[in-house]
């Protein structure tokens, strides 16, 4: 068992052992050894059924390059035996094929590490009993709102982990972080009609705040009953609340700005550096160094320092996100965005994921208008979308075409929000949408998928309902 205080030293020692062993196996090859150790405690209270889990996710991954030939291997466990097994497996890959990556220019070069997140150490001391109590509190709050609240699921989790990277170019770095998270899902049932609400909280620099979450989620669910049918197919303005807007950002620029898509020309942004791609009100950064950021680490998954990277400034495309491989190919170097299954959908088993590129913490700069001012700026009919719509993560980044179903939606009419609607289908093109962005709210909020976005008001999407 490793402890948070010593995890970096212990992992660095394992990585060093692996690297020295690798060098003995084949002095002509270049190696990178990645070692991960993470502790997870999770409690879920699902309508009275308790599920609890506590364990350690530990494993290692090795990349090897012999000239332009590349191989990689991973193994669960962080013992010297398992790291050595991964070294041998990676060598057997590279020695048994002639397939080359002629674009490979070597692993990451050493640089001064950035900073880790500002972890509140009280998080590490949270006990199972406290997590259960939080779940019970959120559940009770929700049930107290209305008798139609029939199904409540509350969960809390504590995570802390560390990883070390060592490579043949002299990198020997480690980082660690931790967080606590909670979530409550509510279903309100009236006859055959089922409406849902969701609230969540996550932080690394403070303990989770569960108070009010159950109540808010329940009110959201109950408030959607007896929604009216929109009854038309038309092009309408759509106001995406922070949660919905975060999902929109993640599915569009959040993917199109990634180095692999840019270099391989699958991104529509690949030839547009310096061009106006959005309304001048729109600014997007990826901040891997925000002190209270859930994606903040001192190094990325290949040992490069994480950074704060502008993507769009006042509507103009300013930058992409790269790891060393794609950064070299694009001629700009890494932006500290190497990941192993990272990003908002990050895997709990990073050592099994291949090295890629992901955003660390996307943030849209808040605008000057309140959500109410955005609503009142609309003439005629419009749609307010408050959830992350179904299908938003199944659209194709390359084409930008999307068609989603928004379940928690309200009609905006003559400058004010009127009544809840039955689910509506919303379709259009992400990138056209940014050009028709007509308002950015001042209500920036950290969403469930770790994008911090305010409300966004778009023109030009087809709504069917």
Q: Which is nearer to another protein, 135 or 285 (CB)?
A: 135
Binding mask 284-313 for another protein (x = CB under 8 A): ------------------------------
Can you point out the beta strands (E) in 82-171?
Answer: 149-167
Of residues 331-360, those binding another protein (CB under 8 A): 347-349, 352, 354
Q: Is-contact 371 220, C-beta < 8 A?
A: no
The one segment of 243-251, 368-376, 388-396, 446-454 that binds another protein by CB under 8 A? 388-396
12, 22, 108, 187: which one contacts another protein (CB under 8 A)?
187
Helices then strands (H, E): number in the chain? Answer: 10, 22
Q: Are 341 and 353 in contact (CB under 8 A)?
A: yes
Contacting another protein within 69-88 (CB under 8 A): 70-79, 82, 85-86
Q: Is the distance from CB of 38 to CB of 81 less than 8 angstroms?
A: no
Residues 196-235 that bind another protein (CB under 8 A): 196, 233-235
Residue 427 found at the interface with another protein (CB under 8 A): yes
Between the alpha carbon of residue 247 and those of residues 16, 37, 114, 176, 380, the distances in Å are: 40, 30, 28, 27, 26
Categorise residue 110: left if φ over 0, alpha if ψ from -120 to 50, beta otherwise.
Answer: beta
Q: 130 in helix, strand or coil?
A: helix
Cα separation, 221 vs 313, whole angstroms:
37
User: Of the candidates 377, 282, 349, which has an alpha carbon nearest to the alpha carbon of residue 74?
Assistant: 349
Nearest residue (CB) to another protein, 78 versus 312:
78
> Max Cα separation, the chain?
74
CA distance 35 to 165: 7
Site string for another protein, 233-252 (x = CB under 8 A): xxx-----------------
Q: How far is the CB of 279 from another protein (least distance, A)?
A: 21
Indicate whether 426 belongs to the interface with another protein (CB under 8 A): yes
Q: Which is nearer to another protein, 262 or 444 (CB)?
A: 262
Report H helices in 191-275.
Answer: 213-222, 242-251, 253-256, 259-263
List of long-range contacts for 146-149, beta carbons under 8 Å, 24+ apart = 146/188, 146/218, 146/222, 148/188, 148/189, 148/190, 148/222, 148/225, 149/186, 149/187, 149/188, 149/218, 149/221, 149/222
Stretch that binds another protein, among 192-200, 201-209, 283-291, 361-369 (CB under 8 A): 192-200
Give every CB contact of residue 27 below 8 A, 6+ residues apart in sequence: none
Among 122, 144, 264, 372, contact with another protein (rule: CB under 8 A) = 264
**DSSP letter (8 states) at residue 330:** H
Q: What residues are paired with 287 via a beta bridge? A: 308
CB 72 within 8 A of CB 86: no
Q: Is the Cβ of residue 50 or residue 275 nearer to another protein in the bound state?
A: 50
Name which of 245 and 463 has its Cβ closer to another protein. 463
Q: Which of 142, 137, 123 is nearest to 181 (CA)?
A: 123
Q: Print the binding letters for residues 16-55 with another protein: x by CB under 8 A, - otherwise.
A: ---------------------------x-xxxxxxxxxxx
Q: Which of 11, 29, 58, 411 binds another protein (CB under 8 A)?
A: 58
Instruction: State the minimum distance, in angstroms, from the CB of residue 365 to another protein.
Output: 29
Nearer to another protein, 42 or 113 (CB): 42
CB of 136 to another protein, least distance (A): 6
Report the residue number, 91 or 375, with the smaller CB distance to another protein: 91
| Closest CB to another protein among residues 59, 293 | 59
Q: Which of residues 86-125 bind another protein (CB under 8 A)?
A: 86, 89-90, 93, 96-103
Where does this chain touch another protein (CB under 8 A) — which range of 163-171, 294-302, 401-409, 447-455? 401-409
Q: Which of 147, 226, 368, 399 binds another protein (CB under 8 A)?
A: 399
Residues 141-160 touching another protein, rule: CB under 8 A, are 150-151, 153
Q: Tell me whether residue 375 or residue 406 sits nearer to another protein (CB atom).
A: 406
Q: How far is CA 71 from the centre of its chain?
A: 27
Q: Toward another protein, which CB reaches closer, 364 or 449?
A: 449
Name the residue nearer to another protein (CB basis): 54 or 144: 54
What is the spatial distance between Cα 358 and Cα 344, in angstroms, rounded to a whole number? 9
Give me the least distance between CB of 373 and another protein, in Å please: 28
Select 155 or 168, whichever has its Cβ closest to another protein: 155
């Amino acid at each position: 068992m490793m402890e948070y205080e010593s995890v970096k030293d212990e992992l660095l020692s394992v990585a060093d052992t692996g690297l020295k062993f690798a060098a003995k196996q084949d002095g002509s090859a270049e190696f990178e050894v990645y070692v991960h150790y993470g502790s997870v405690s999770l409690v879920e209270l699902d309508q009275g059924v308790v599920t609890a889990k506590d364990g350690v996710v530990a494993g290692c991954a090795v990349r090897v390059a012999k000239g332009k030939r590349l191989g990689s291997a991973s193994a669960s466990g962080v013992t010297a035996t398992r790291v050595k097994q991964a070294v041998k497996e990676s060598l057997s890959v590279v020695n048994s094929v002639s397939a080359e990556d002629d674009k490979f220019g070597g692993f990451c070069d050493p640089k001064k590490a950035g900073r880790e997140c500002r972890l509140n150490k009280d998080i590490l001391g949270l006990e199972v009993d406290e997590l259960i109590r939080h779940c019970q509190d959120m559940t009770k709050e929700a049930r107290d709102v209305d008798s139609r609240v029939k199904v409540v699921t509350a969960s809390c989790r504590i995570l802390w982990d560390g990883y070390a990277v060592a490579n043949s170019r002299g990198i020997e770095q480690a980082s660690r972080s931790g967080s606590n998270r909670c979530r409550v899902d509510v279903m309100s049932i009236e006859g055959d009609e089922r409406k849902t609400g969701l609230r969540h909280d996550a932080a690394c620099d403070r303990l989770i705040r569960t108070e009010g979450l159950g109540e808010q989620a329940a009110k959201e669910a109950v408030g959607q009953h007896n929604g009216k049918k929109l009854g038309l197919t038309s092009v309408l303005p759509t106001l995406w609340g922070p949660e919905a807007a975060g999902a929109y950002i993640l599915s569009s620029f959040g993917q199109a700005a990634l180095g692999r898509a840019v270099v391989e020309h699958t991104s529509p942004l690949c030839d547009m550096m310096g061009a106006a791609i959005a309304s001048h009100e729109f600014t997007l950064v990826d901040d891997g160094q925000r002190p209270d950021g859930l994606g903040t680490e001192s190094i990325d998954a290949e040992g490069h320092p994480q950074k704060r990277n502008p993507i769009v400034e006042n509507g103009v495309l300013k930058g992409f996100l790269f790891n060393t491989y794609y950064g070299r190919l694009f001629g700009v170097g890494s932006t500290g965005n190497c990941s192993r299954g990272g990003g908002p959908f990050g895997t709990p088993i990073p050592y099994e994921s291949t090295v890629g590129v992901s955003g660390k913490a996307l943030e849209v700069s808040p605008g000057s208008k309140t959500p109410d001012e955005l609503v009142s700026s609309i003439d005629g009919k419009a749609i307010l979308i408050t959830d992350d719509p179904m299908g938003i993560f199944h659209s194709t980044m390359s084409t930008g075409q999307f068609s989603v179903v928004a379940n928690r939606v309200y009609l905006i009419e003559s400058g004010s929000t009127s009544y809840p609607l039955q689910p509506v289908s919303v379709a259009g093109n992400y990138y056209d949408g940014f050009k028709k962005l007509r308002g950015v709210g001042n209500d920036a909020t950290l969403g469930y998928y770790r994008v911090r976005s305010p409300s966004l008001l778009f023109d030009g999407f087809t709504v069917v309902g």
